[in-house]
Structure formats: C-alpha cells, structure tokens
Chains A and B, each alone.
Chain A
Amino acid sequence: MTAPAVPATAGVRDLRARRVAVYTVGGVLLVVGVVLSAGLGQLPIGPAEVVGSVLRAVGIPNGWAPADPLIEQTLWQIRFPRIAMSLLVGGLLAVAGAVMQAIFGNPLAEPGVVGVSSGAALGAAAAITLGLTFFGSWTTALVAFAGGLGATLIVYGAARSRGRTESITLILTGIAVNAFAGAGLAVLMFVGDTASREQIVFWQLGSMNGSRWPEVGIVAVVGVVATAGTIVLARRYDLLSLGDRTASHLGVHVERLRILSIVLVALLTGVAVAFVGIISFVGLVIPHLVRMLIGPANRPLIVASFLGGGALLVYADVLARTLLPSADLPIGILTSLIGGPFFYWLIRRSRRGAGGWS
C-alpha cells in the first residue's frame, strides 16, 4: 500500500517548503520595510547608513555607519522606536486574531468581539476627559489597558453559565458590551471640552506618532510573554477544530483553555492598543491570509501571523507618514480602508466555499 502513501507525504513535504518560503518572504519583507521606513521622512537617510547604524549599535564597527549625530539621533530617538512599535503592535494584533479564530473555530472572529478594543477606547476616553494623571504621561495607556481587560472579563463572566461558555452567547454578549462601551464613549465626548474631544477622536484613529523606547519596552515584554503562551497552547487549538466534545475526549480541558486564551488575547490586544489607539482588521486579515498560504496548523500560523502583522503595520506606517506631504495620517484609517473591502471579500468567499467556513 505505498501508492496512497505518496500524496500524503508529498503534501507534508510541500507544506513544509511553503512554510519555509512564507517565513523567509515574511522576514525579508519585514527587514526591507524596516530599512525603508527608517530612511523615509523629512530627513532622508540611505539604506546603507541605516544598516550601518544598527550594526554599530550591536557592536560591529563598519564604514557605512553615519557620522552625522543628527542622523544618528533621528534614527534612534524618533524612527526606530516608532518602527519597533509598528512591528510589535501589528504582530501582537495578528497573533491575538489567530488565537480568537482558533478558539471560536471561526475565521471571522477577531479580538474586538470580546470587547477589548471598545473597553480600551472607553478607558482612554475616561482618562482624557476626566483629566486623570495619577501615572503621569502613561495614565491614558494604563487606563485604556485596564478598560480592555475589564471589558473582556465582563463579557466572559456574563456569557458563562454553569461552568460552560457557548461561542454564540459569548459573541452576542460581546455585541451588548461593545454597544454599552460605545454609549459610554459618546457620553464622555459629550461632556468633555473641545480639546479632550479632539484627543479622544485621534486616539481612536490610532497612530504610531510619538512612540518612545520605554513604551516599546513594555509592549515588547507583555507581548512576547503572551505570544509565547499562545505558542505553547497551539497544539490544543488544533484539537479544538474537531469541536469541543471531541477535543475534550482527546484530553483537552476546553473551558480552561478558552479562559486562558481569552486572557492572553486581552493582554496582547490591550497592550497593543493602549499606546497607539485602535487599529482594526489586522487581527482579522493577517491570520486568514497566512492560513490560505500555509494551512491551518496553529503553531506555524501564530509565528507567521506575527511576522505578517508586523510587516503589514511597518508598511502601513510608511504610507501613513508619506502619503500626504507634511501630514501624519492616522494608521487606523489606512488599515480600515484596506480591511473593510477585504472583510467583505472574505465573507463572500466563505459563503461560496464548499464545506462552510474554511
């Protein structure tokens, strides 16, 4: 019986080759994007100088490194932190999206479903309108993070009954909480003064502007820990695709896995949006594209989604900075502009596809 064995093994080998190709292309795209993004701006910096400066920073002396301290300062104090933030936020949002889709068995799930984004927006608006400053300049981010986590816990707590959570109940509860947070946001904008109203609007549009290293550091630490957690759980996500009961027959503690994963999603999304505001559709689009390229297995999916999400936002940020002369377009506008039509296409395609949501 070797004849039927051939296609399966060939398929596996083919899939491995595709995974390597996707990692490589993703990595190259990312590096090119970083160098490109670092070079563009009011002060143009050549790719060689960018690479030289990075090499010098990691302790490799070379001839490309820029001699001008102004270039050095622009790179390390303005552009690199902003690029690092774009990369991290894009990667974390994509990972959070992949996890949401895995635990709900639905490619249309995204972190916003459980209220993270709207909770964070409500938190940020409260901090801005009420003029909270107990953590200095980080107050808005901190309250936004708390709002995102809080909204998620409320959604999850309300959707749970008799120790179980049904996906549909969770999604409908999410809609209710999202609507409530939207109303709260409207109230805060109504009572706030013009300046805070403007600040809230721009926070919601999302921007990488003014990212600094300490903020990048926090996003990196929380994000890397949470991403590592999702990679550990990835095999169990695969089993969830068989349905809750069959997954539990294979030894997965389904309810515990869901709770843990939703907390991880809240951490990933919360820390990402806290500093840069709402950036939608990355979590929806990237995991779906990656799944089409390398199949649904969750461990490679999560890793490739991180790369893809990071690359997408690095490029989106380049566009945001350069599309309009002398203006910094909010990056959230760009991702929604691309994401909206894609989402529509996704729905059409999923409905057409044989065998339902694949």
Chain B
Amino acid sequence: MTAGAIAYALDGVGYRIGDAEILADVTLEVAYGRVLALVGPNGAGKSSLLGILTGDARATSGSAVLDGRPIGAYRGTDLARRRSVLLQSNQVSFAYTVYDVVEMGRAPWIGGPGDLDDEPLIRDSLERTDVAHLASRVFSSLSGGERARVSLARVLAQNTPIVMLDEPTAALDLKHQEDVLRIARDLAAQGRAIVVVLHDLSLAAAYADDVAILHEGRLVAFGAPADVLTETTIERVYETPVRVMSDPDTGRPVVLPRRQR
C-alpha cells in the first residue's frame, strides 16, 4: 500500500440485471492515498459501482482488477483483509454491545498475519468516531447517528488498506459529518484508498481528491472537484439549477441550489 499505487482499475465495466442496464462502460482508477467521492442522482448506479468494487456484484462486461488481480479471483478472507465496507443501513440482531460490534471488525485477521493485540486498536477506533462512552451499551438501543458512528468504528478496526463508505454522513449531524470526512482524509494520509458515496456535493468538494459523477449508469466526469463540479455539468446531471461558488477559506467549490424567493 504505497501512496499513488493503483488499488482498483476498472476498464469498460458494465453491469446488467436481466434486461436492465445498471452500469455501462465505466473506466476509472482508485489510487492509494486518495479520497474518491462517488456522486450522482438517485438511481445513477453509485451503489452498484460500489458493489462491484466490494466484490458483492460481478461486472457483466469489462474488467475489474484489484491490486493486479481480477476482483472475482480473491477469496472472502483475502478481500476482507484488503477492503472494509460501511453500508448505508447498519442493524445488529441480538443484544451485542458496541464493544462486541467493533471487535467483530477484527474477525478477518484472526489467525492471520495481522492478528495483533486487538484491544488497543478497538479502543482507538471507538475514540476516533467519538463513541468510546457507548462501549458497553447495547447496539440496538442506540440512535441512528450513534449506530452509524459505531459501525464506522467497526470499519476502522478492520484496519484495511482500502476503505469504502456508502453514504456515511446520511444519519449524522453537522459536526459528525465533518468528523467522518476528516477521518476519511486521515486514512488517506496514511496511504489508504478511500471510496465514499456522497449526496452532498459541497461535502464531496471539500474533502475529496477526486470526484466521479455517475449519471444513468455512465461515468460523466472524473477529476479534481474544481474541474468536475461545474454549474453546467451539475445542472445537466441533476436537472435542477445550481450556483457554484468558491469557499472563501479553502477555495474549494460550494454547490448551492438556485431557489426562488
């Protein structure tokens, strides 16, 4: 996992379910040490693309390669040691505590080369996501935002070179939204590859190195936020008028819908 090396290389990836074409001709690279934001309107194929990267779904055409090998060639445990995934909804059946749930993130490493002393890592993950005070609470008794953060702690405990987050900010308040993306930035600074699906374009612009815009199953733009998140592109893809301004502090784009008084 050297920064700049290529984690995922997708070439002409297509994905069909029956007659429905979900993804077509998607070509992109995901590099270590960078945060890639996947954005696009509802139904654009973001989750399907994420599913192909995680190995949940198999591309029906084109090639999807992870660390030089086709994704389908990996065993479950090998994948689990390379990439961790935070899904949109996180539920836990039975009364497992927060600590138990985060500890489950260590499961792929049991008996393997990364079988370290888990406790410090688990505790560190709990603290970084601001849930250490909930450690002995039962997961299913938590609020939506707390569950999302505990699940993120589980993902951090898995300690993988690739981290994928599917709308990690959906259930979170302003502070914790920023916290999660700061964590994503920190992880990238450690040389990890981060793929994050986001709906908030300003958030994507503020924290991502690269932004990929999906529209009707196709990749319509890929590049630095300032190059990709332009008024024309966003208005074409989202079919609603927007204003793109520059954040006075960071110079990054801020996307606002144009509203009538």
Residues on A lying within 8 angstroms of B by beta carbon are: 1, 4-5, 7-8, 10-12, 105-107, 235, 238-239, 241-243, 245-246, 248-253, 291, 295-297, 354-358
Contact = CB atoms under 8 A, between A and B. Distances in A.
B97 interface: yes
25 contacts: A1-B127, A4-B132, A4-B135, A105-B94, A106-B93, A235-B110, A238-B100, A238-B104, A241-B94, A241-B96, A242-B92, A242-B101, A243-B87, A243-B92, A249-B56, A249-B79, A251-B80, A251-B81, A251-B107, A252-B107, A291-B94, A291-B95, A295-B95, A297-B100, A354-B141
B136 A7 contact: yes
A164 to B, nearest CB: 12
Interface residues of B, number: 39
A250 B94 contact: no
A355 B123 CA distance: 25
Given A248-B56, A355-B140, A12 B99 contact: yes
A242 B140 CA distance: 11
A246 B90 contact: yes
B11 to A, nearest CB: 24
A23 B133 CA distance: 30
Contacts of B202: none
Nearest to B140: A355
B108 interface: yes
B138 interface: yes
Contact of A4 (B54, B91, B133, B140): B133
B87 A245 contact: yes
A11 B101 CA distance: 14
A250 B107 contact: yes
A120 B126 CA distance: 49
A250 B108 contact: yes
B91 A243 contact: yes
Nearest to A357: B93
B158 interface: yes
Given A4-B133, A8-B99, A358-B138, 13 more contacts: A11-B136, A241-B93, A242-B101, A243-B90, A248-B76, A249-B80, A250-B108, A252-B76, A295-B95, A295-B97, A296-B96, A354-B140, A357-B94
Nearest to A7: B136
Contact of A11 (B93, B97, B108, B140): B97
A335 to B, nearest CB: 24
Given A4-B133, A8-B99, A11-B136, A358 B94 contact: yes
A296 B100 CA distance: 10
Contacts of A249: 54, 56, 79-80, 83-85
A310 to B, nearest CB: 23
Contacts of B96: 238, 241, 295-297
Contacts of B42: none
